[in-house]
Structure 1
Amino acid sequence: MKPTYLTENSISEFIARALAEDVGDGDHSSLAAIPADAQNQARLLVKGEGILAGVELAGYIFRAVDPALQLDVLLKDGTAITYGDVAFTVKGKAQSILTAERLVLNCMQRMSGIATYTHYLASLIEGTGAKLLDTRKTTPNFRIIEKWAVVIGGGQNHRFGLYDMVMLKDNHVDYAGGIREAITATQQYLQEKGKSLKIEVETRNLQEVQETLETGGIDRIMLDNMSTDMMREAVRMIGGKYETEASGGITEETIRAVAECGVDFISVGALTHSNRSIDLSLKAF
C-alpha cells in the first residue's frame, strides 16, 4: 500500500515542477538533433549495488512526457540489484526518451541510495522489535520522493510535515516554559481547534521523562541524545504506557545497542540527508 501522501495529484505536481525546471521552453538538444518521427529504445543499466527504487516513479515520468512511451519493467522497486542488471526498457519517440532521461535518473539514483541505506540500517536492528523511522531532514520540494524511497527500503515514515502530528521538541519546551506548560498548552490548542493529532514530546533526561509521565495526555516520548544506560532506565520508567522513540546522533555503530534498550522506534535523519546515490544509466540499444 502506498503512503497516503503519494496521490496521483501529488506525484503529478512533483513531476510537473521538475520538468518545468529542467525542460523550460523545450529540450532544444533533442529537438535540434533528432528527427521528430524517430523511434528508438533505451534500457536502464545498474552500475552499482543496493536496493532499486524509483521504477514506479519512472513510469509516471515517462507517461507525463509522452503517454505513447512503452515501459517494460524487468526489476521492481525494492529488488536487490548488482552491477550490470537491467531494470527496465523504454521505447517510443526518441525525443521523448531523451527529454525524460535526466529526471528519471536523478530521481532513481537518489531514491535507490536512500532505499539501500534504509535497508542496511533496518537489517542492523532486525529481531529487536524496534522500527526504523525517517525524519523531516529532507530536500525541499523532494520530500515525497525521499520518504517514498525510505518505505521501499523497508523503513517507516515519521510525520510527513508540521501539520500531521505535534512534536514538542527542545526549543518548543524551552520557549513554552517547560514540559508541563508545553503539553498543557498543546492539549488546549488541539481542543480549541477541534484537531485530533498525536502528540510526541522530546525529552533530554530522566527528569523530563518523569515530568512528561506526570503530565500525561500524550502519545509518544522521544529519548533524545541519551546514553544507552539512561535510555534503558527511561524505557523502564515509561513501562509501555506510551510509545518510545530514540533519536539524536544514532549511527551504524550504535543503532543495534539503541534498539536493544527496548525502544519502539529509532529515527535517523541520515536516511535522507547523508547517503550515497546508486549509479544508474539510461542507454540506447
Structure 2
Amino acid sequence: MSLLADPASLVALVLSLAVAGALIGFLAGLFGIGGGAISVPVFYELFLLLGHAPQVAMPTAVGTSLAVIIPTSISSARGHYKRGTVDVGLLRQWAVPVILGVVIGAVVATFAEPAVFQLAFVVVASINAAKLLLGGAGWRLRDSLPGRIALKGFGMVVGFVSTLMGIGGGAISTMFMTLHNVPIHRAVSTSAGVGVLIALPATLGYMAAGWGKPDLLPDAIGYVSLGTFLLTIPTSLLTTRAGVTLAHALSRRRLETAFGLFLALVSLRFLFALGG
C-alpha cells in the first residue's frame, strides 16, 4: 500500500486509469466491444503494485473489468441503436442463452484454467483477423446466420467464454456474425448490445464468487474494486460517443481492416500472457 502514500505515484495511478478508461470507451463505441483486452491487464498490474497476491489480483481484475463494461456497453449500444444498425431480434434470441452461459462461466471460473479459453480465442481471432485484413469475401461459414437452435447455442458459448476471459463478448460475437456474412457495421452495433447482456450478470457473479474471501482489496465487493471502477468510468463514457461516430464514418473496408488489426493485437496480448 506504499504506492498510495506517495502523491506522485497516486497521481500516476489515477492518470493511468483515466487513460485506460478513455481507450475502453473508444473501443466500445468503435468495435462494439467491452474493452476487457485493455482493462484486465491494466487492472491486474495495478492490483499487483498495490501488494495483492496474483490469486486475488486476477479475478478482481476480471470482475472489475466486467463492471466497467456495463455502462460503456450501454452507452455504445444506445449510440448504435440511434443509427438503426442494432439487430434487436438477434439480441432477443441471444438474451437467455447468453445469460445462461454467463452463469455457467462464473461457476467454472472458480476452478478452471483460463489459458485454455484464451488459446481457443487466439486461434479463432487470428483466422478472422486474416479474413478481415485480406478482404477475403470467400472466408465465410455461411451466407446467412444459422437457425434458431444454433444461434442459441452460440449465444451460450459467447456468455460462457466471455465470463472466463473478462471481456464483453463483442469481439467473439462480431467474429461470429462477420463469418456469417453480416455487414461489419451491423455486427459491431449488435455486439455492443451483447456486452450489456453479458456484463451485468457476470459482474454479479464475480461479486458473489469473491464474497467473504480473505485478502480482498479494501474497496472491493467480492472480486469487484469499486474505487477502480469509479476512476475508470468517467473517461470511458466521454469517449464512447466518439468511437460510435468514427465507426459509422468509416467505410465497410476500413472498419473491417481496423477490426482485423484489433483482433490481431488482442491475440498477441493473449499469446504473450500464455507465454508468461
TM-score by length of 1: 0.29
Q: Which one has a bigger Cα radius of gyration?
A: 1
Higher relative contact order (CA 8 A, sep 6+): 2
Report the structure, 1 or 2, having the larger helix content: 2
